[in-house]
Amino acid sequence: MKTAITNLTHKLESVYNGQPWYGESLLQKLERVGPEEAFAVSVPGAHNIAQIVAHLTGWRRVLSERLKGNMEYQLDVDSDADWAPVSALQQKGWSTILTELVENQRELLTLLASVTDEFLHTVYSGTDTYESLIEGVIQHDTHHTGQIGLLMSANKNAA
């Protein structure tokens, strides 16, 4: 049976590049962001769009690694791996940051297609199940998509 996993996959796709009820998807927003805007700091003390996208990809990678059975893969909260310094991201480049997100989405969809509803209830750490991890990534993507929208508005108003 794959009703629950199909539902979660649909939610993940909707937030990423579908038609979420709240407006534009993550990819729809990012398609309008160029390198200059991605690295702009229009809100003092806030992360820029490039940092948010790299952060999203990092936590999505946690999910993909767990789905592959790699329980050793870690991402420490508030570390440089979690929130990369702007200089490191500028060196990487905006197009590479976007490509990593796109490749991660493809990988997640492939991995999710191979699991069953029963698998979702499997505990991978403590009391956390794969279902809660997938839901968490979906909520995390939604949260940061909103932040990206705010930064896009702030960048537009600063110009």
Nearest to 136 by CA among 19, 3, 8: 8
- Rounded Cα distance between 26 and 106, Å, is 15
pLDDT at 158: 75
Higher pLDDT, residue 95 or 157: 95
Q: SS3 letters for 9-63?
A: HHHHHHHHHCCCCCCCCHHHHHCCCCHHHHHCCCCCCCCCHHHHHHHHHHHHHHH
- CATH code where residue 59 lies: 1.20.120.450
Q: pLDDT at residue 78 above 70?
A: yes
- Rounded Cα distance between 158 and 139, Å, is 29
Locate 8 and state its tokens: 């979660």
With cut-offs at 50, 70 and 90, classify the pLDDT of residue 159. Answer: low
- Rounded Cα distance between 41 and 109, Å, is 32
Q: How many domains does the chain have?
A: 1
* Residue 101 near residue 145, CB atoms below 8 Å: no
Q: Model confidence over 92-143: pLDDT tens digits?
A: 999 999 999 999 999 999 999 999 999 999 998 889 999 999 999 999 999 9
pLDDT at 1: 67
pLDDT at 2: 81
Residue 149 is part of which domain span?
3-158
Q: Name the one residue in this structure whose structure tokens are 């996959």.
A: 9
pLDDT at 90: 97
62: amino acid identity, one letter: V
Q: Model confidence over 36-75: pLDDT tens digits?
A: 999 999 888 999 999 999 999 999 999 999 999 999 999 9
